Structure 1
Amino acid sequence: MELNRSNQRNAVMAGFLGWMLDAFDFFIVTLVINDLAKAFGETRTRIAFASSMTLMMRPFGAIIFGVMADRFGRKLPLMLNVIMYASVSVACAFAPNYTVFLVLRMIFGIAMGGEWGLGASLALESVSPRYRGLISGLLQEGYAAGALLASLVYRFVYPDFGWRPLFLIGGLPALLAIFIRAKVKESPAWHEHKTTDWASYGRAITSNWKRFAFLVLMMTMMNFISHGTQDMYPTFLEQHRGFLPIERANTTMIAYLGAIIGGLAFGWYSDHTSRKRAMVTGLICCFLFTPLWIAAPTALWLTVGAFMMQFFVQGAWGQVPAHINELSPNAIRGFFPGFAYQLGVAASSLFPYVQAVVGERFSYAWSMGILAATVFAAGAIVITLGPEAKGVSFRKH
């Protein structure tokens, strides 16, 4: 069963929008850390800890929704996931204290952990292998588009209405479930490989443990890189460089515009070279641009550095959906890549908190610059030593 172009487009759109709107809510928190600290009478490091707990809960979502995806298909779990994270976002707007907010962010982490694996497997199983790198870049940059959207909403809503309405807007993604229900077809690859025998399902997981361990290590490095350059950057701009809210929003928007362009450009590049080469090239460039990103002498050059950093960070990230789905067994693609991804997230979940603690003790520039440069180098080494399966077929024939 082949999908026509309309169905392929709808599958990619569902994956992209699901990840974009999920990321929108996550990045709202990074933009209002100071407001949340004041509202709940907590320190900035405690609010950063809530973001870390969101990341730490994501593997639980990958297990729950990943197993559902292999058993019942990609479509239904994706609908339920979107409704779940949109509902939690609305609830955050009414959080009366830090404890309630922390619990809600942990629940949001479960939803966020399930979305990526569902959307990536649905979209990449629905398109031609020839364009998998480019589509992978598009899907992954749903995350950057969500950050850009969060910055836009913050720029125009926050000055007049404060932080709570930002989370109310995060409830709008529930409408995406209607689109998925009406327009998205189930993955043909899932129909061919769908799980009916739990014993063989378990064997497929355990027999590929070495591949799984590598993916977890690689995704740990990649999440160190993304969260290490993104989550505390608005706080750095405010605390270390004295940026006003509008200036922070503008710089963040420019940075994530660079991220979207970088993800697409390097995704296309990986289709014409290799996944590993594209990822390592991006990380080498990240290392070279670290001084401009964190220590530029003027606001203009700092903004240029932010643009270039996210161009190459997301350039390296653009291949991730294609790379880890190609390295995953067909019968467990709903679970395997998503769970590896989210275990990497959990392993790196305290990185923003560590950056905040070190930044408060010394400076955010020192904290972010040294830690980021270290993980750029480590990530490039891990990727270089790992396997690749570019262009592998997801179908039986």
Structure 2
Amino acid sequence: MEELTTNTAAADPESNSKNNGENKVQSPWKLLTSLNKHQKITFIAAFLGWTLDAFDFFTVILSVPYIAKEFKMEPSTITGSITITLCFRPVGAAIFGLLADRFGRRYPLMANIALYSIMELASGFAPNFSVFIILRAIFGIAMGGEWGLGTALAMEILPPESRGLFSGILQQGYATGYLLASILYFAVIENIGWRAMFWIGSFPALLVIVIRFFVPESLVWEAHRDARNSSGRTFLTSSKLAIKRHWRRFIYCVALMSCFSFMSHGTQDLYPTFLKSELGFKTNKVTILTVVANIGAIIGGTICGHMSQLFGRKITIIVSVLLAACFMPLYILPKSFGLLITGAFFLYFFVQGALGIVPAHLNELSPSEFRGTFPGLTYQLGTLVASSSAQVEAVLGERFKKDGKTNYGLTIVVLSVIVMTLLASLTAFGKENKDANFIEQVKQITIAEMNEVIEVEEVEKGTITVKDDMK
């Protein structure tokens, strides 16, 4: 045990951070400039990985009419590839997460980025829809793995006092990817064609070189590896014990992320259709509104992420969600373009403000020995549960018509407010582990095992019952 303490103390990246109950929040500029070279490069790599992952995903969404025309199919058939991508994301989160917990964060992340870059390039050469949908399924596996690996590596290497700010920035890589895809769409698709968007989208493979030579391995993972080696436990044994101890936490986080995902997709995915079909807006106005809204998302995610460092993860999420609910009428009811832009900006500000806290919150709630798998898998399972949100809203909007027209606006408001209320309630009754010292968690797990605080009972069938530390 003395050897473990010495090794992990020497490797602790959080030695300069606050502990013992202190809660002094530094200015964003000070936090941005206080990172060392390795921390900066690691965060940039994680942010770009998620940004370019989202960029590739939205390439399909924007290209649907053009792909449908070339393959001589209905757009509704082509959108099946989007559903397939979403369905395979949890598979990728599980596969790459387990690899990251077993072999470290860097090499699985490199393999992940290389895979989704290759699938993006290959999608641009797909000769027919059957090949295209297979490639998008494999892309979904890669997309599902990237978020968990990137956030785990970033949150483990950053000081605890900076997690809130960088969590908010990191999560908005998704909105940034959407913006980049929109810009490329207008610059390329009419002039070169939809396939060129996929070819250009394959350049994230260059990130593999950066990670290989400049991003260090997570010291937290190395501490876990050393602890397993010193205790004589195998990865499989430790994994079984962790699953038995933390299954309730896993279910809670999946439910939490399902609400988060439904709030995000439920407020956004059907909105362009609402603007076109019910308000009669042209494409240029819809595009302007989308850009302004995503700028609001990036600003909101960054600010609310940093505020969670001062007020706590739970209270900031709850306040952001409730304020988002307050802006729902301004998001839907006005006929004025100016008022709708205002409503969209602030709705995205607070919706993505709440989501900006998720990378830090999930990684802090994650069992230390499963941080490569837990955040990404719960996040992607939540996305899978909420993947039908736009379809549900569309069906209800077409059923409950107003004056013979679809009523998408009403269903967006009603369902979103219900989910926001549920999300605020789940957050309030859940745990918070802000500023958790990840290295110290490794020590505590090892000490608990050595002192037999984890109670193991042998039964006739040879199964093991482990005391749940969450209750």
Shorter-chain TM-score range = over 0.9
> Residue 16 of structure 1: SS of its match in structure 2?
helix
1:311 paired to 2:349: yes
Alpha-carbon distance in structure 2 between the residues aligned to 1:193 and 1:158: 48
Cα shift readout 1:229-259 (whole Å, capped 9, x = no counterpart): 2333334334444444443332222111111
Could you tell me whether the CA contact under 8 Å between 1:27 and 1:231 is conserved in 2? no
Note the 1:147-166 alignment, pairs <5 A.
Answer: 147-166=178-197
> Residue 387 of structure 1: SS of its match in structure 2?
coil
Letter in 2 for 1:383: T
Indicate the larger mover: 100-109 or 18-27: 100-109
Tell me how far 1:171 sits from its aligned partner: 0.6
Q: Identify if the C-alpha distance between structure 1 residues 41 and 158 changes in structure 2 by more than 3 Å, giving closer, same or farther.
A: same
Note the 1:14-29 alignment, pairs <5 A.
Answer: 14-29=45-60
Could you tell me whether the CA contact under 8 Å between 1:263 and 1:317 is conserved in 2? yes
Tell me how far 1:56 sits from its aligned partner: 1.6
Q: Identify if the C-alpha distance between structure 1 residues 166 and 243 changes in structure 2 by more than 3 Å, giving closer, same or farther.
A: farther
Letter in 1 for 2:94: I
Note the 1:327-366 alignment, pairs <5 A.
Answer: 327-359=365-397, 362-366=406-410
Q: Identify if the C-alpha distance between structure 1 residues 237 and 173 changes in structure 2 by more than 3 Å, giving closer, same or farther.
A: farther
Indicate the larger mover: 151-160 or 286-295: 151-160
> Residue 186 of structure 1: SS of its match in structure 2?
coil
Aligned length: 397
1:176 paired to 2:207: yes
Could you tell me whether the CA contact under 8 Å between 2:365 and 2:432 is conserved in 1? yes
Tell me which of 56, 61, 83 is aligned to 1:30: 61
Q: Identify if the C-alpha distance between structure 1 residues 293 and 59 changes in structure 2 by more than 3 Å, giving closer, same or farther.
A: same
TM-score, scaled relative to structure 2? 0.79
1:213 paired to 2:251: yes
Tell me how far 1:122 sits from its aligned partner: 0.3
1:129 paired to 2:156: no
Note the 1:189-268 alignment, pairs <5 A.
Answer: 189-194=220-225, 196-268=234-306
Tell me how far 1:32 sits from its aligned partner: 3.4
> Residue 191 of structure 1: SS of its match in structure 2?
helix
Q: Identify if the C-alpha distance between structure 1 residues 247 and 90 changes in structure 2 by more than 3 Å, giving closer, same or farther.
A: farther
Q: Identify if the C-alpha distance between structure 1 residues 375 and 42 changes in structure 2 by more than 3 Å, giving closer, same or farther.
A: farther
Could you tell me whether the CA contact under 8 Å between 1:52 and 1:353 is conserved in 2? no
1:383 paired to 2:432: no
Letter in 2 for 1:388: E
Tell me how far 1:271 sits from its aligned partner: 0.1
Tell me how far 1:345 sits from its aligned partner: 1.4
Alpha-carbon distance in structure 2 between the residues aligned to 1:175 and 1:293: 39
1:69 paired to 2:103: no
Cα shift readout 1:316-340 (whole Å, capped 9, x = no counterpart): 0011011111111111110112111
Alpha-carbon distance in structure 2 between the residues aligned to 1:86 and 1:243: 35
Tell me which of 412, 422, 431 is aligned to 1:368: 412
Quote the RMSD (CA, aligned, Å).
2.1
Indicate the larger mover: 325-334 or 88-97: 88-97
Indicate the larger mover: 294-303 or 167-176: 294-303
Q: Which runs of 5+ in 1 are unaligned?
A: none
Alpha-carbon distance in structure 1 between the residues aligned to 2:289 and 2:164: 28
1:272 paired to 2:310: yes
Indicate the larger mover: 331-340 or 96-105: 96-105
Q: Quick check: which has more Rg, 1 or 2?
A: 2
Indicate the larger mover: 131-140 or 302-311: 302-311
Could you tell me whether the CA contact under 8 Å between 1:152 and 1:249 is conserved in 2? no
Alpha-carbon distance in structure 1 between the residues aligned to 2:330 and 2:78: 28
Could you tell me whether the CA contact under 8 Å between 1:218 and 1:379 is conserved in 2? yes
Percent identity, aligned pairs only, is 46
Alpha-carbon distance in structure 2 between the residues aligned to 1:164 and 1:241: 32
Alpha-carbon distance in structure 1 between the residues aligned to 2:83 and 2:179: 21
Could you tell me whether the CA contact under 8 Å between 1:155 and 1:246 is conserved in 2? no
Tell me how far 1:205 sits from its aligned partner: 1.8
Tell me how far 1:59 sits from its aligned partner: 0.8
Alpha-carbon distance in structure 2 between the residues aligned to 1:148 and 1:279: 24
Alpha-carbon distance in structure 2 between the residues aligned to 1:64 and 1:115: 11
1:144 alignment counterpart: 175
> Residue 32 of structure 1: SS of its match in structure 2?
helix
Letter in 2 for 1:234: P
TM-score, scaled relative to structure 1? 0.93
Note the 1:81-96 alignment, pairs <5 A.
Answer: 81-96=112-127
2:447 alignment counterpart: none
> Residue 327 of structure 2: SS of its match in structure 1?
helix
Letter in 2 for 1:21: L
Q: Identify if the C-alpha distance between structure 1 residues 370 and 158 changes in structure 2 by more than 3 Å, giving closer, same or farther.
A: farther
Letter in 2 for 1:101: F
Could you tell me whether the CA contact under 8 Å between 2:279 and 2:335 is conserved in 1? no
Could you tell me whether the CA contact under 8 Å between 1:31 and 1:234 is conserved in 2? no
Alpha-carbon distance in structure 2 between the residues aligned to 1:155 and 1:302: 23
Tell me how far 1:143 sits from its aligned partner: 1.0
Going by fraction, where is helix more abundant, 1 or 2? 1
Alpha-carbon distance in structure 2 between the residues aligned to 1:358 and 1:95: 35
